Amino acid sequence: DQQVKQNSPSLSVQEGRISILNCDYTNSMFDYFLWYKKYPAEGPTFLISISSIKDKNEDGRFTVFLNKSAKHLSLHIVPSQPGDSAVYFCAARRRMEYGNKLVFGAGTILRVKS
Amino acid sequence: NAGVTQTPKFRILKIGQSMTLQCAQDMNHNYMYWYRQDPGMGLKLIYYSVGAGITDKGEVPNGYNVSRSTTEDFPLRLELAAPSQTSVYFCASRRTSGRSDEQFFGPGTRLTVL
Residue in chain B lying closest to A4 (CA): B42
The pLDDT value recorded for residue A96 is: 73
Q: Is the CB of A43 less than 8 angstroms away from the CB of B101?
A: no
Mean pLDDT of all residues belonging to chain B: 93
Which has the closest alpha carbon to A23: A34, A12, A37? Answer: A34
Residue in chain A lying closest to B90 (CA): A43
Task: Give the CATH fold of the A4-113 domain.
Answer: Immunoglobulin-like (2.60.40)
Q: Which residues of chain A are modeled with pLDDT < 50?
A: none
Which has the closest alpha carbon to A101: B63, B40, B31, B14? Answer: B31
Q: Is the CB of A102 less than 8 angstroms away from the CB of B100?
A: no
Cα distances (angstroms) measured from residue B106 to each of A3, A55, B76: 25, 31, 14
Chain A positions touching B106 (Cβ under 8 A) are: 43
Chain B positions touching A1 (Cβ under 8 A) are: none
The predicted-structure confidence for A38-63, as pLDDT tens digits, reads as follows 999 899 999 999 999 999 999 999 99
Which has the closest alpha carbon to B60: B89, B36, B32? Answer: B36
The DSSP annotation for A60-90 comes to: TTEEEEEETTTTEEEEEESS--GGG-EEEEE
**B102 against A23, higher pLDDT:** A23
The CATH number assigned to the domain holding B14 equals 2.60.40.10
Domain count, chain B: 1
Owning domain of residue B57: 4-113
